[in-house]
Structure 1
Amino acid sequence: MSSGTPPDWAALYAKHRDKMWASALGILREGGRQSEAEDVVHDALRSLMESPPTGVQSWEALMIATVKRRAVDVLRSARVRRDGGEISDAAATQLGSEEFLADDVAEAVDHERVGGLIWDALGGLDARDRQIVWERIVHQRSLRELAEEFGLSEGRISQITKAGLTSLRDALEKQGVEGW
């Protein structure tokens, strides 16, 4: 895309919305503000649209970084401090570091590349179990969160995850991927 042509925002959003949302959710969970993830994603996208950057090498990395900065802003806001949900100093330091941002960009690229392979490998599971394994492993959600969301016990979520990982390992080994 040339620097003078505006990006196709709808296509970029459709392609990266899940990763943007997961990034926002991961940060907002620190302060108990998960319900604001969608607003953070939309605010980040709006800010990019209002001042479109030029010469972007990775839209995915830029969009995720923008979402993460917005999420940190929410946690640092006066309203959140007043409500008692302030982000810890250690988390704020980590979230603001360039090294952390570089790790996130690398992780996002890895997730995109490996994500399709993992999703396909989990194809033998029913839709609910596949979603549980995906949320638990890729999005690193807790047993408690998933148990509440799916109406199951934490033990059952753990069993589903273990069975899914066994299925995943077997499928990846069949494709020649080792080390699982």
Structure 2
Amino acid sequence: MFIAGDGAGIGGAKAAALAGKIAALDIACDLDRLTAGDRNAAARPLRRRLVKERAARPFIDSAYPPYAAALAPQDATIVCRCEEVTAGDIRHMAGLGCLGPNQTKAFGRAGMGPCQGRYCGLTVTHLLSEANGLSPDQTGHYRIRPPIKPVTLAEIAAMAAPEAIEKSKRSNVSTQVNG
């Protein structure tokens, strides 16, 4: 699996483009379209530029942390908008033994909506870590699913149906003409 852009860490558009080029080189190497040596040579200047693009990130993260009240809202505040879970609900889950964000899905559906915890995840982690006396790193973060949708066998079979139907029609016409 190759990850580029903000999914690999927020660094801006230039960093995302560079990460995409590096991922493309890795993919080409995996497909035997590029030797490892050629990939490394092509990636070296891209990696140097990527390091420069990401250099300000630690400063930005330190200078502009999330608003403290957003990480520790009052009990009545809705934290998970998708599933309408409040900060009080999250604290209650912690009191019931919930230790991490992924468990909140089972305890009360937080993080199970369309955003999969992308909006509420940081706050849920901080609420749980505060309630359980753990650091945010010990508490963990939501495991985000890739943005794909499962398909049924019927849908897969239907994808081939137009071609099969057309082939069947041609076969039937040929049989009728020659028959």
TM-score range, shorter chain: under 0.3
Q: By percentage of residues, which structure has more helix? A: 1
Whose Rg is larger? 2
TM-score, with structure 1 as normaliser:
0.22
Higher relative contact order structure (alpha carbons within 8 Å, sequence separation ≥ 6): 1
